[in-house]
Amino acid sequence: MAKNVYEKSVDPATRAMLLEAERAGIETAWDRFEKQQPQCGFGMLGVCCRNCNMGPCRIDPFGEGADRGVCGATADIIVARNLLRMIAAGAAAHSDHARDAVMTFKEMAEGKAQSYRIKDEAKLKALASEYNISTGDRSPEDVALELANVLLSEFGRQTGPIQFTRRAPPKRQKVWEAAGIDPRGIDREIVECMHRTHIGVDNDPVHILLHGLRTSISDGWGGSMIATDVQDVLFGTPTPTTSESNLGVLKEDEVNIIVHGHEPILSEMIVAAAEDPDMIALAKKAGAKGISVAGMCCTGNEVLMRHGIPTAGNFLQQELAMITGAVEAMVVDVQCIMPALGNLAGCYHTKFISTSPKADFPGTVRMEYHEEKALETAREIVRAAVENYPNRDRARVNIPKEKSACMVGFSAEAILGALGGTPQPLIDAIVSGAVKGVGAVVGCNNVKIQHDYGHVNLVRELIKNDVLVVTTGCNAIACAKAGLLRPEAAKEAGSGLRSVCEALGVPPVLHMGSCVDISRILVLAAALANHLGVDISDLPAAGAAPEWMSEKAVSIGAYVIASGVYTVLGTVPPVLGSSAVTKLLTQGTEGVIGASFAVEPDPFKAAKLMIERIEEKRAGLGLGA
Amino acid sequence: MKEILVRPERCLGCRSCEIACAVEHSETKGLFSAASEKPTPRKRVYVEFAPEYAISVPMVCRHCEDAPCVSVCPTGALRQDGVTRIVSHDPEACIGCWTCASVCSYGMIGRNREERVAIKCDRCPDMEVPACAAACPTGALVYKEVEEFSGSKRAESALKMARGVAAGGSR
């Protein structure tokens, strides 16, 4: 039975666009999900192996058929290997994004990428000093070049440690060393995942999973952290600013450009090009009142955090943005971009523009971007969008009115700045019990869960119970749309959290950025733990990914627990075909890294699990309930 | 009456029918929970592979109109509904003599190891479409009236012959 639009999403703008899609006979992810039913039971349980051509093999989860693959791999081995490959893909995505950011940074320092400059010199100096690079009387570009080279060497490092892993509290570093999971390099760990999962290499589930944790640390405290910090130096470290979110940010009478994907490298230039008076004049000539850039997914989060560029929506809204009929150009870079957009663009005037040398899709206009000519390419893209404006079919324009105000831009630096340069006030609030603890809620959308239902309800439940929420990615956008990123949302919080938020003038849910910016959450957690002289696993904190779907989310989940934070997943990972791996992930890791996973699709029950964990940790620190 | 009919040319051997069958016959009726249930849920449909032709064939109880398993069952554990012709099995009455297995031409009598009794397709009494047919991603298993199924096969075949006539064959 197909679901109705109310069952598909809690977001009114999404419901309106899904009705429009139904009316127009246009297929969306929800329809394709229906057509995929029933999904393969072997796949869902993780017991299918395609790693060699004696297979594919699968294990009968009910014990009547094969209990081993051709090579003899059991369900435990197959599930662990498949999970390791998911972590490898996720870590690769984040870290390859980071590599591109550093390459741009390097070309900027060498004067080859003239579109870019150093925006945050203070952060440049701070990073340089972490690497013992002298800054004395050198030009910022000179320092940047040396920094770029050492950052690049982190990817190919063979023996570790990755410098930013030293930001973790000393106790956490010891935990990693004791477990043998302190990463030796970024690329090395990812490559080793592929080696270990090749036929006939690593066939011990515990051994395999430990390497998964090591790989994930090289993402969270390596690739992702490098991406965040280099982007901050290049584009500015976010500070609190206000904006709007949801499909209602699209403009009836302006050229609408959506930047979608994950990297700020080109989108920063598009934002600049769209502000160019020549381009605006061109838009006016085409009959528009101006040019409006809106974000989607994490590219959206990047430009939202740094420039207050409004966000049109999260992952499951990408098709819906096109269905408004008001988008002149959907400009994409990498990750979480549905190939379905190509067909859909054919039904509207929208130009689907792919820009990354790595990522193309059916039905795109290809406008490949390179660092040396970034602004030029951005101008061409904006021009293409402007020239497409007269092709807009006014009869088909249907922009939902919904949009919500939001306060964003809470980098770790901004949060510490707001607290007066030290985490002490937040610690005082936690000690007094006004703030019970911190919940990190992140992750994707997934059609398996009513869109935004998991996100919004989990976050509401946490703040109601005085848990301060830090958020990134598609959860952050869901919260923005639900009005939870407004300082007035403090009214929805428990009295303790409410008073703290009102005193500081901040929302009870702090938007910390894109999915690579979960590294900001790690930095904040490390600052709190270091200030108290404890490990991150001692903090009254818990994580959640209520609607996760991507392999990146698997890597994130792994590095969050490897950092010592208990994490509740809202959708079931493909591991239940192995009771051994399931037990390891939900219990076994506790004894090794002080944290584990839980799976709970019901956001209210998930909040309860997180709060219980936070209470436990409060008790451990000798704090009252 | 609808029957579970097989179009073996469509079977890819994915065994989704087997999984769905075991899940439907579990206590919890959910994949994730059924996978860890004890006793292990049992399937009643079997994807058989014919290596000579590299073809998989899903085999499911035919619920024969004149069912040999029912006529040989000494305890009445196997019964046939007078109207639906569905052959059902009562594990309480079953003595595990396996006479039914001996006479079933299709090998559709399985063994419940824990209870030491026979186990067979009950055509999912709680479902509108039996779990195996509902789960088949390619339509190799369909739940249809024989008349309708054969009718569409006839029409398909007739179309082929008509095409031959139109092309000038046997004129």
Main-chain dihedrals φ then ψ at residue A601, nearest 5 degrees: -70, -25
Distances (CA, A) of A516 to A522, B53, B79: 11, 51, 63
Contacts of A79 in chain B (CB under 8 A): none
The answer to whether the CB atoms of A41 and B19 lie below 8 A apart is: yes
Q: Please provide residue A354's backbone torsions phi and psi, each rounded to the nearest 5 degrees.
A: -95, 140
Q: What is the pLDDT of residue A236?
A: 97
Tell me the one-letter amino acid at A340. A
* Separation of alpha carbons A134 and A147, rounded Å: 10
Q: Mean pLDDT, to the nearest integer, of A494-511?
A: 97
The whole-number pLDDT of residue A531 equals 94
- Put simply, the answer to whether B36 touches A579 (Cβ < 8 Å) is yes
Most B CBs within 10 Å, among A37, A64, A575, to test the B interface = A64
Q: Are A258 and A329 in contact (CB under 8 A)?
A: yes
In whole angstroms, give the CA distance from residue A536 to residue A546: 22
- In this complex, do B42 and A64 lie within 8 Å of one another by their Cβ atoms? yes
Question: What is residue B1's predicted lDDT score, i.e. its pLDDT?
Answer: 87
Distance from CA of A574 to the nearest CA of B (A): 10
Helix (H, G, I), strand (E, B) or coil at B59: strand
Q: State the pLDDT confidence band at A134, using cuts at 50, 70 and 90.
A: very high
Q: Which CATH class is domain A411-620?
A: alpha beta
| Closest residue to A576, CB basis, from B35, B43, B137 | B35
Q: Is the dihedral of CA A28, A517, A424, A175 positive or negative?
A: positive
**Percent of chain A with pLDDT strictly greater than 70:** 100
Nearest-CB residue to B16 (from A41, A60, A64): A41
- Distances in Å between the alpha carbon of A382 and those of A101, A409, A533? 22, 26, 51
Spatial separation of the C-alpha atoms in residues A269 and A472, rounded to whole Å: 23
CATH of A247-396, one of 1.20.140.10, 3.40.50.10470, 3.40.50.720, 3.40.50.2030: 3.40.50.2030
Measured between alpha carbons, how far is A549 from A515 in angstroms, rounded to an integer? Answer: 13
3-class state of residue B3 by DSSP: strand
Band (A100; pLDDT cuts 50, 70, 90): very high
**Residue A510: strand, helix, or coil:** strand
What is the mean pLDDT of the segment spanning A206-226? 98
Minimum-distance CB partner of A62 among B41, B134, B137: B41
Mean of the pLDDT values across residues A399-410? Answer: 98
β partners of residue A314: none
Contacts of A624 (CB under 8 A, 6+ apart): A433, A618
B58 vs B3: CA distance, rounded Å = 14
- Residue A408: what residue type? V
Q: Is the pLDDT of residue A150 over 70?
A: yes
Q: What is the mean pLDDT of residues A212-221?
A: 98
Question: Measured between beta carbons, which residues in chain B are less than 8 angstroms from residue A577?
Answer: 35
CA-based nearest residue in chain A for residue B134: A38
**Residue A52, pLDDT score:** 98
Q: What average pLDDT does the segment B27-51 reach?
A: 92
**Residue A88 pLDDT > 60:** yes
> Is B130:B123 a contact under the CB 8 Å cutoff?
yes
CA angle (A484 as vertex; A480, A485 as ends), nearest 5: 60
CA distance A167 to A190: 21
* Mean pLDDT of the region B88-112: 95
Q: How far is CA A137 from CA A28, A141, A441, in A?
A: 57, 12, 43
A75-235 CATH pick, 3.90.1720.10, 1.25.10.10, 1.20.1270.30, 3.10.110.10: 1.20.1270.30
Spans of all domains in chain A: 5-58, 75-235, 247-396, 411-620
Instruction: For residue A30, give both structure tokens.
Output: 């929800």
Can the peptide bond before residue A161 be classed as cis, meaning omega within 30 degrees of 0? Answer: yes
CB B23 within 8 A of CB B29: yes
pTM of the predicted protein model: 0.92
Q: What is the pLDDT of residue A363?
A: 97
pLDDT band at B170 (very low <50, low <70, confident <90, very high): low
How far does B165 lie from chain A, in Å, by closest CA? Answer: 38
The verdict on a CB contact (< 8 Å) between A64 and B35 is no
What pLDDT shows up at residue A528?
96
Give A579's contacts in chain B (Cβ within 8 Å).
36
Tokens in use for A445? 């959308």
Query: Helices A187-197 and A75-109, interaxial angle, to 10°?
Result: 150
Extents of the domains making up chain B: 1-60+124-145, 62-120
Pairs across A and B, CB distance < 8 A: 48
Same topology, domains A247-396 and A411-620? Answer is: yes
Helix (H, G, I), strand (E, B) or coil at A376: helix
Among the partner-chain residues B22, B32, B135, the one whose CB lies closest to the CB of A62 is B22
Report the percentage of chain A scoring pLDDT > 90. Answer: 96
C-alpha distances (whole Å) from A597 to each of A175, A237, A566, A588 are: 18, 32, 6, 10
Q: B62-120, which class in CATH?
A: alpha beta
With 70 as the cut, is the pLDDT of residue B34 above it? yes
